[in-house]
Amino acid sequence: MQVVRLRRLREKSTIRDWISETELHPKNIILPYFVVEGKGTREPIKSMPGVYHLSIDNLLKDIPEAVGIQSILLFGIPESKDRLGSQAYKKDGVVQKAIRAVKKKFKNLIVILDVCLCGYTSHGHCGIVKDGKIDNDASLEALAKIALSYAEAGADFVAPSAMMDGQVKAIRETLDENGFKDVGILAYSTKYASNFYGPFREALDSAPQFGDRRTYQMDFRNSDEALREIKQDIDEGADIVMVKPALAYLDIIYRAKQKFNVPIAAYNVSGEYSMIKKLSGGDRIKERDLALEVLTSIKRAGADLIISYFGKEIGKWLC
Ligand code: PBG
């Protein structure tokens, strides 16, 4: 039998480009930002080299540097926290002010808001705590209130990430009742109780003060359950569903893409980002090559959108 020469298609870089199946593009990347009160702040987040706490003035300066990026995900760091996370739905909260400023300056940028309580509660949990437990239904009310305040400030999408049952339905109903039918929901449908969120929790100072998140975030031994979570969110009105983390969960992205015909987003989380930073040890070329390989694998698995802290570099790398 003749040798089948698959290498013919790898002989030249133009041929490799010609037949490449997966194309990463900055327009499909969502860039997260951490916003703080004040002016002139650009404080490096130690656990996430290259990522900063930015005050709104510096956020507005930073966005144009993200070549080709068409969407951002905002997280706010409040000045104070309480048991109910009430700073999260303050009209002039840091993140509400940031949304207004960003939408005023960058009209076509899609602004997405993470809807959760963990960054705003003194106990660091993603829901309301009653008698030492995370109370699902009391949390729904709070989450809907937060989502509404983001919509009022001008958010294009809200992204519920608390993993409470019924959160998409509660938010959809509240938005609709208040005239925000066009505000979309990007649901963190399958958010695993992952060890890869460590650096982010330092950035947001949101580590739980007692217990852990395993009574609401998903068990990483399961994947059928992930499909149930996604189905439920679609039925409740999610426009886009998310798998998080991404790199350690490529099988979930793949299964979700095969099964559902809604756009799939994947969150390449802080620990996955920091891992690449560590491995490349400050070598920019190594960092680029590692990041492009990882992000392409997430796209190849089936993600339409990728949330990535490399968002600012991607446009430069790909041009
Ligand atoms: C809020 C939230 C978390 C992340 C995004 N939204 C953390 C958590 O559940 O502790 C993690 C993002 C990252 O690690 O990059 N619930």
Give the pair of three-digit tokens for residue 132: 């030492």
Q: pLDDT tens-digit profile of 84-125?
A: 999 999 999 999 999 999 999 999 999 999 999 999 999 999
Atom of ligand 1 at shortest distance to CA of 213? 9
> Helix (H, G, I), strand (E, B), or coil: what is residue 34?
strand
From 267, 271, 273, select the one nearest 50 (Cα to Cα): 273
pLDDT of 319 above 90: no
Q: pLDDT tens-digit profile of 216-256?
A: 999 999 999 999 999 999 999 999 999 999 999 999 999 99
CA of 129 to the centre of ligand 1 (A): 19
- Percent of residues in the chain assigned helix, strand, coil, to nearest 5: 45, 20, 35
Q: How far apart are CA 59 and CA 34, in angstroms?
A: 9
HSE (side-chain half, CA atoms, 13 Å) at 315:
17
Share of the chain above pLDDT 70, in %: 100
Per the CB < 8 A criterion, the answer to whether 247 and 294 are in contact is yes
Average pLDDT over residues 53-63: 98
Q: How far apart are CA 83 and CA 29, in angstroms?
A: 34
Q: How far apart are CA 153 and CA 211, in angstroms?
A: 34
Instruction: State the pairing for strand pair 133-135/128-130.
Output: antiparallel
Given this model, what pLDDT does residue 314 score?
A: 95
HSE (side-chain half, CA atoms, 13 Å) at 154:
18
Give the pair of three-digit tokens for residue 252: 């979930």
Given this model, what pLDDT does residue 70 score?
A: 97
What burial letters (b/e) apply to 252-261, b meaning 16+ CB within 10 Å? bbbbbbeebe
Query: pTM for the full model?
Result: 0.97
Please indicate whether residue 259 is annotated as part of the active site: no
Average pLDDT across the chain, whole number: 97
Residues with CB under 6 A from ligand 1: 114, 116, 118, 126, 161, 197, 200-201, 206, 269-270
Share of the chain above pLDDT 90, in %: 98
What burial letters (b/e) apply to 65-79, b meaning 16+ CB within 10 Å? ebeebbbbbbbbbbe
Gyration radius (Cα) of the chain, Å: 20
CA of 161 to the centre of ligand 1 (A): 8
pLDDT of 205 above 90: no
Mutate to test the pocket of ligand 1, among 48, 75, 115, 116 (most ligand atoms within 8 A of CB): 116
pLDDT band at 1 (very low <50, low <70, confident <90, very high): confident
Atom of ligand 1 at shortest distance to CA of 217? 9
Given this model, what pLDDT does residue 93 score?
A: 96
From 244, 134, 263, 122, select the one nearest 191 (Cα to Cα): 244
- CB under 8 Å to 279, separation ≥6 — which residues? 286, 290
Per the CB < 8 A criterion, the answer to whether 257 and 189 are in contact is no
Average pLDDT over residues 8-29: 97
Per the CB < 8 A criterion, the answer to whether 126 and 118 are in contact is yes
Rounded to a whole number, what is the distance in angstroms from the first to the last CA of the chain?
A: 43
Tell me the CA distances in angstroms from 233 to 86, 90, 163, one per residue in order.
Answer: 26, 27, 11
Asked if residue 78 has a cis previous peptide bond (ω within 30° of 0), the answer is no
Tell me the CA distances in angstroms from 145 to 31, 97, 114, 136, 180, one per residue in order.
Answer: 25, 16, 13, 15, 13
Q: Which amino acid is at 294?
A: V
From 33, 28, 25, select the one nearest 62 (Cα to Cα): 33
Please indicate whether residue 191 is annotated as part of the active site: yes
Q: pLDDT tens-digit profile of 66-93?
A: 999 999 999 999 999 999 999 999 999 9
pLDDT of 140 above 90: yes
